């Protein structure tokens, strides 16, 4: 059973557009992470959020953790072709060490 649902599953946009990716669950997470994966490689960490309502910015990327720590969003401003990749959220519930990954959002930014 997948605990983390991401939407949309696929997204193809033009360079310069904005987009938001969502990560939702019925479980409460003690921490939530976002990763980006390039073809043929393992995922690489973008950000970690641990506090409900927390907002973190990484250049053109804005990450938000829901107040109840059950959901998160990733917003990209003025997308560029270099943002193309698979975006994955991952969460750990309190008292466990294991991280469960979301279903992924495959983003393609067209020049």
Partner 1 sequence: NAGVTQTPKFQVLKTGQSMTLQCAQDMNHEYMSWYRQDPGMGLRLIHYSVGAGITDQGEVPNGYNVSRSTTEDFPLRLLSAAPSQTSVYFCASRATGARGNTIYFGEGSWLTVV
- C-beta closer to partner 1: residue 84 or 105: 105
Fill in the DSSP letter of residue 99. P
Q: Provide φ and ψ at 13, rounded to 5°.
A: -135, 165
- Does 97 bind partner 1 (CB under 8 A)? Our answer is yes
Closest approach, Cβ 12 to partner 1, in A, equals 16
7 interacts with partner 1 by CB under 8 A: no
Strand stretches in the chain, DSSP E: 5-7, 10-14, 19-24, 29-37, 44-49, 55-58, 61-65, 71-76, 85-93, 100-101, 105-110
45 touching partner 1, by CB under 8 A: yes
Residues that bind partner 1 (CB under 8 A): 1-2, 4, 6, 9, 30-31, 33, 35, 40-45, 48-50, 88, 90, 92, 97-104
């Amino acid at each position: 059973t997948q605990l983390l649902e991401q939407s949309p599953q696929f997204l193809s946009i033009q360079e310069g557009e904005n987009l938001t990716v969502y990560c939702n669950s019925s479980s409460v997470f003690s921490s939530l992470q976002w990763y980006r994966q390039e073809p043929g490689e393992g995922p690489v960490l973008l950000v970690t959020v641990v506090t409900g309502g927390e907002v973190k910015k990484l250049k053109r990327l804005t990450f938000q953790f829901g107040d109840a720590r059950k959901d998160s969003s990733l917003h990209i401003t003025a997308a560029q072709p270099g943002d193309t990749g698979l975006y994955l959220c991952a969460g750990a519930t309190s008292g466990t060490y294991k991280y469960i990954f979301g279903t992924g959002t495959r983003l393609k930014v067209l020049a």
